[in-house]
């Protein structure tokens, strides 16, 4: 029979013409085929967008081929798999990244050329997949790229939001939010798996039943929704391995509301069904808090329930004994958002698989690991018990049971220290009784990771001190990283070619340690010339973008000084704007001789404010108001320009980062868990002006403090400065620039009053305290910029020292120390 099967398979493979071919003629045929039969346009006349669609489908075919091979290989080898659970992924565009990782970018560029198209122009047609807010979401995307490249057997799981992160539109300097219906033009990068779907239950009641002599809990739901899988292939670089990011979409279930159909309420029954799809429709646009919203909780449970059912189904396909479960499964919780997975695994193992509580609990403690991305107590999620009890009654019981056992164990260790017991309890008593999701995640995970060394210290000494004292072995950190494939190879092709030329190899794209070789050439005049040329081209590209977007012409001889990230008080974009006002004020008061010594600057700020975050929105408006004043002042000319880049997203970042000379990372010490923007700028040879916070502390260790511009209060100084409050002495220049805003130099003085009030008086984020040293750091940057040889050397050393901040490093660390997984490389 097997010989027969083999002959059949060989015949089919022959009919398919073997593997897809990647020579120029085959690719051209393929693209034209998709123009004609997928896009349904004339192959003799199609535009750039249609060319993009056809090209994307052609690439997708190749991704699917590799995905199949990878899954077949994984299934044969049956390694321990990692399941990465995250509610957010900021993937950006897929085309360029995919063809580079597949190693066929040049072939496609040539094929398109033969058809009369340009690869770059066609690639620009793609919209961003923005299924996330900020750092955490982009980190997940970088980590998926590294997991695929390093051949780890992994599945990513998430939600397929129909509306991604809102589009930021600026009207008269004010942020407006518009929906990002990113699926409008179809999405060639996903594969709808109609046959992979799971039932997800909500509401209802829990009954006790005697089954086979055992007391069982039976959950009778009040609402049923179907989760349908959409698979997004993630190709590795330099490997055939292509892993899958499986995103779930909500669809009405056939089991729901049959009664209403039968009783004749057809119209309402259909409308109700449609409402259920909303579960996966909207991404919550706030990266700091998601407290107590029913829809958010539904999203969390919907995604974890479908994922956990899928994971157990896959395990059971090839295993009959659950004792092997922890040897085959590692579950990573990306922040607390997927923590309900813990209760869901318990429910499925106890209520459905009937393993018994103790056996199930033992497994849970072996499979879960948790990474937190926040430093603030307010950022920790809490779910009101009332809400959970109505939405997921069985899960509430399970969490209560977990907590009861934990409290009993704790009492044995620490006695009746009620304060401590109540701080560590998963249940928070109080006006609104709530579930502390972080406590749940810590209690049930074998490892709790921070995202930088200092973050981990803060977790151990502040946020989770009690837990650290109880379980010191659980606490670790993995320094975040970003993928060099996206952040150098895709976004900065000039720099990428230059690095390969000087290293004599492209191997650094997989082995980032090789970048250190650049250190040997850091003073070579030939490298300097080529390095500066690459930067110049990138600055020209960025200048063209700025002009197209805002009409503002900027000089590429000026220093391009960039701060792009989500707008937050702690990230202190306001400090940057105050610095710009100060610079403007100084230039205005200079005589012509002094003006000749001014280093011209183009200050670029970009980022989105959460829709409900008023102060952040005022910061954006202030940026526009100041820009208007400065840019219209003919007396200032090219000495200073200020640009706000609207709708900052991954593809805009790919343009901005390579074009930056200087980048600013200004968080008040102790507030940025890690920060990954700095790593992208660093890789691109951009000098950093930064506080000693989050990952910057580790960047200093790699490239040296004299290779960057550091300023500001250190972590240990912050409490004393805060203590001083309004009596803290601030520099005169600080009071002067704030007064300029208050007195209406930039208009809207009433509107900006509350913003000024946040920094005069209490000034929680210490802008006044840090202003003096901030200006000194800025002056130091000016001084070095004039010495282009020194600047270029520092720039080369920045790139050369960025290897530690590749997500490849982070992932290897996680794989070895947290997940216990091994590479599983599909043969070429």
Q: Which are the catalytic amino acids?
A: 373, 565-566, 571, 676, 680
Minimum distance of ligand 9GP from residue 768's CB (angstroms): 24
Report, in Å, the least distance between residue 378 CB and ligand 9GP: 11
User: Quick one: 646 or 670, whose CB is closer to ligand 9GP?
Assistant: 670
| Pairing relationship of beta strands 559-564 and 475-477 according to DSSP bridges | unpaired
Residue from 57, 246, 373, 665 that binds ligand 9GP (CB under 6 A)? Answer: 373
Burial of 552: CB neighbours in 10 Å, binned 0-12, 13-18, 19+: middle
Sole window of 129-137, 356-364, 415-423, 587-595 interacting with ligand 9GP (rule: CB under 6 A): 129-137
Q: How far is CA 749 from CA 742, 744, 759, 765, in A?
A: 5, 5, 15, 22
Cβ distance to ligand 9GP smaller for residue 30 or 287: 287
Q: Which is nearer to ligand 9GP, 672 or 763 (CB)?
A: 672
x/- string (CB under 6 A) for ligand 9GP, residues 137-176? Answer: --x-------------------------------------
Q: Residue 607, interface with ligand 9GP (CB under 6 A)?
A: no
- Asked whether the beta carbons of 569 and 756 are under 8 A apart, the reply is no
Q: Which of 96, 125, 439, 676 binds ligand 9GP (CB under 6 A)?
A: 676
Quick one: 229 or 451, whose CB is closer to ligand 9GP? Answer: 451
DSSP state of 320: S
Residue closer to ligand 9GP (CB basis): 35 or 87: 87
Buried b / exposed e along 694-706 (16+ C-beta atoms within 10 A): bbbbbbbebbeee
135 is a contact residue toward ligand 9GP (CB under 6 A) = yes
Under the criterion CB under 6 A, does residue 134 sit at the interface with ligand 9GP? yes
200 binds ligand 9GP (CB under 6 A): no
Select from 134-142, 188-196, 437-445, 557-565 the region that touches ligand 9GP (CB under 6 A). Answer: 134-142
User: How many Å from the N-terminal Cα to the C-terminal Cα in the chain?
Assistant: 28
Applying CB under 6 A, among 70, 480, 484, 491 the residue interacting with ligand 9GP is 480
Rounded distance between C-alpha atoms, residue 334 and residue 243, angstroms: 18
Number of CB atoms found within 10 A of residue 434's CB: 21
Nearest to residue 317, comparing CAs of 591, 91, 629, 81?
81
What are the beta bridge partners of residue 574?
A: none
Which one of 296-304, 615-623, 672-680, 818-826 is the stretch in contact with ligand 9GP (CB under 6 A)? 672-680
What x/- string results for residues 437 through 476 when contact with ligand 9GP is judged by CB under 6 A? --------------x-------------------------
Closest Cα partner for 102 from 69, 79, 77, 139?
Answer: 69
In the complex, minimum distance from the CB of residue 814 to ligand 9GP, in angstroms, rounded to a whole number = 13
Q: Edge-to-edge, what's the strand order for the sheet holding 687-691? A: 640-645, 601-606, 559-564, 662-665, 687-691, 709-711
Residue 675 touching ligand 9GP (CB under 6 A): yes
Q: H/E element holding 753?
A: helix 749-759
* Nearest partner of 148 among 67, 248, 61, judged by Cα: 67
Is residue 694 a contact point for ligand 9GP (CB under 6 A)?
Answer: yes
What is the number of the residue whose Cβ is closest to ligand 9GP?
A: 135
How many Å apart are CA 451 and CA 139, to the nearest integer? 10
- Strand segments (E) across 469-564: 475-477, 559-564
Contact status: 374 vs ligand 9GP (CB under 6 A): yes
Residue 70 or 449 with smaller CB distance to ligand 9GP = 449
CA–CA gap between residue 518 and residue 238 (Å, rounded):
22
Which range, of 131-139, 206-214, 408-416, 624-632, touches ligand 9GP by CB under 6 A?
A: 131-139
Residue from the set 438, 604, 673, 766 that interacts with ligand 9GP by CB under 6 A: 673
**Torsion angles phi and psi, residue 102, rounded to 5:** -80, -10
Rounded Cα distance, 436 and 422, in Å: 11
Q: Where are the beta strands (DSSP E) in 283-410?
A: 329-334, 368-371, 382-384
CA separation for the pair 588, 736 (Å, rounded): 14
Count of residues in contact with ligand 9GP, rule CB under 6 A: 16
131 scored as a contact of ligand 9GP (CB under 6 A)? no
Q: Which residue from 447, 217, 498 is spatially nearest to 333, judged by alpha carbons?
A: 447
CA atoms within 13 A on the CB side of 674: 26
Of residues 305-364, which lie at the interface with ligand 9GP (CB under 6 A)? none
Here the tokens at position 219 are 């959950």
Give the residue with the Cβ less far from ligand 9GP, 50 or 335.
335
Least Cβ distance, residue 76 to ligand 9GP (angstroms)? 35
Please say which residue, 309 or 696, places its beta carbon nearer to ligand 9GP.
Answer: 696
Comparing CB distances to ligand 9GP, the nearer of 133 and 280 is 133
Q: How far apart are CA 717 and CA 98, in angstroms?
A: 46
606 binds ligand 9GP (CB under 6 A): no
| Helix, strand, or coil (residue 411) | helix
Nearer to ligand 9GP, 126 or 287 (CB): 287
666 binds ligand 9GP (CB under 6 A): no
Q: Which of 136, 228, 340, 794 binds ligand 9GP (CB under 6 A)?
A: 136
Interface with ligand 9GP (CB under 6 A):
134-136, 139, 287, 373-374, 379, 451, 480, 672-676, 694
């Amino acid at each position: 029979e097997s010989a027969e099967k083999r002959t059949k398979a060989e015949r089919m493979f022959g009919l398919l013409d073997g593997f897809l071919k990647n020579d120029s003629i085959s690719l051209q045929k393929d693209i034209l085929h998709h123009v004609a039969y997928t896009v349904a346009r004339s192959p003799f006349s199609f535009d750039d967008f249609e060319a993009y669609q056809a090209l994307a489908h052609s690439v997708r075919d190749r991704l699917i081929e590799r995905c199949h091979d990878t899954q077949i290989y994984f299934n044969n080898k049956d390694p321990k798999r990692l399941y990465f659970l995250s509610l957010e992924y900021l993937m950006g565009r897929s085309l360029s990244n995919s063809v580079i990782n597949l190693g066929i970018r040049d072939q496609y560029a040539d094929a398109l050329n033969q058809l009369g198209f340009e690869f770059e122009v066609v690639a620009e047609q793609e919209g961003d997949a923005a299924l996330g807010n900020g750092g955490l979401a982009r980190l997940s995307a970088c980590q998926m790229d590294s997991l695929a490249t390093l051949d780890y057997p992994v599945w990513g799981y998430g939600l397929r939001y129909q509306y991604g992160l809102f589009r930021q539109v600026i009207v008269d300097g004010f942020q407006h939010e518009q929906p990002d219906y990113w699926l409008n033009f179809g999405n060639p990068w996903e594969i709808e798996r109609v046959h992979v779907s799971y039932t997800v239950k909500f509401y209802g009641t829990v009954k006790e039943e005697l089954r086979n002599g055992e007391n069982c809990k039976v959950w009778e739901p009040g609402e049923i929704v179907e989760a349908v899988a959409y698979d997004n292939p993630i190709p590795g670089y330099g490997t055939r391995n292509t892993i899958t990011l499986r995103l779930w979409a909500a669809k009405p279930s056939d089991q729901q509301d049959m009664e209403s159909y039968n009783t004749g309420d057809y119209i309402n029954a259909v409308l109700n069904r449609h409402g259920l799809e909303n579960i996966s429709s909207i991404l919550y646009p706030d990266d700091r808090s998601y407290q107590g919203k029913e829809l958010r909780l539904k999203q969390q449970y919907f995604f974890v329930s479908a994922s956990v059912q899928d994971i157990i189904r896959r395990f059971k396909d090839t295993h009959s004994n659950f004792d092997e479960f922890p040897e085959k499964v590692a579950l990573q919780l990306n922040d607390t958002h997927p923590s309900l997975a813990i209760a869901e695994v318990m429910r499925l193992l106890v209520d459905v698989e009937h393993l018994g509580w103790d056996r199930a609990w033992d497994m849970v403690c072996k499979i879960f690991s948790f990474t937190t991305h926040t430093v603030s107590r307010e950022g920790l999620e809490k779910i009101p018990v009332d809400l959970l009890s109505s939405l997921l009654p069985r899960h509430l019981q399970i969490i209560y049971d977990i907590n009861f056992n934990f409290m009993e164990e704790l009492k044995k260790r620490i006695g009746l220290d009620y304060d401590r017991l109540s701080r560590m309890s998963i249940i928070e008593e109080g006006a609104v009784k709530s579930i502390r999701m972080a406590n749940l995640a810590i209690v049930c995970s074998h490892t709790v990771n921070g995202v930088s060394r200092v973050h981990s210290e803060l977790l151990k000494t502040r946020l989770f001190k009690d837990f650290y004292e109880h379980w010191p072995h659980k606490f670790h950190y993995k320094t975040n990283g970003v993928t060099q494939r996206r952040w150098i190879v895709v976004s900065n092709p000039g720099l990428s070619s230059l690095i390969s030329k000087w290293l004599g190899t492209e191997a650094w794209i997989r082995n980032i340690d090789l970048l250190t070789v650049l250190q040997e050439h850091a003073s070579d005049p030939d490298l300097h010339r080529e390095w500066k040329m690459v930067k110049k081209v990138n600055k020209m590209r960025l200048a063209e973008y700025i002009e197209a977007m805002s009409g503002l012409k900027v000089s590429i001889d000026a220093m391009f000084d960039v701060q792009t990230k989500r707008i937050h008080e702690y990230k202190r974009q306001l400090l940057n704007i105050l610095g710009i006002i100060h610079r403007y004020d100084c230039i205005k008061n200079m005589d012509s001789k002094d003006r000749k010594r001014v280093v011209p600057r183009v200050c670029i700020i970009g980022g989105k404010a959460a829709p409900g975050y008023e102060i952040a929105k005022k910061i954006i408006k202030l940026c526009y108001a100041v820009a208007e004043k400065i840019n219209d002042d003919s007396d200032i000319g090219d000495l200073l320009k200020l640009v706000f880049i609207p709708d900052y997203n991954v593809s805009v970042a790919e343009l901005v980062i390579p074009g930056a000379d200087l980048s600013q990372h200004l968080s008040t010490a102790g507030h940025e868990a890690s920060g990954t923007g700095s790593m992208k700028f660093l890789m691109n040879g951009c000098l950093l002006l930064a506080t000693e916070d989050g990952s910057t502390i580790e960047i200093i260790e790699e490239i040296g403090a004299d290779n960057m511009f550091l300023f500001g209060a250190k972590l240990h100084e912050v409490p004393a400065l805060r203590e001083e409050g309004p009596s803290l002495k601030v520099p005169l220049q600080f009071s002067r620039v704030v007064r300029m805003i208050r007195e209406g130099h930039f208009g809207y003085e009433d509107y900006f009053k509350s913003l000024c009030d946040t920094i005069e008086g209490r000034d929680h984020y210490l802008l006044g305290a840090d202003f003096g040293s901030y200006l000194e750091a800025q002056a130091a940057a000016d001084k070095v910029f004039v010495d282009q040889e020194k600047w270029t050397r520092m720039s080369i050393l920045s790139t050369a020292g960025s290897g530690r901040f590749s997500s490849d490093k982070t992932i290897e660390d996680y794989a070895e120390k947290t997940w216990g997984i091994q590479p599983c490389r599909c043969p070429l």
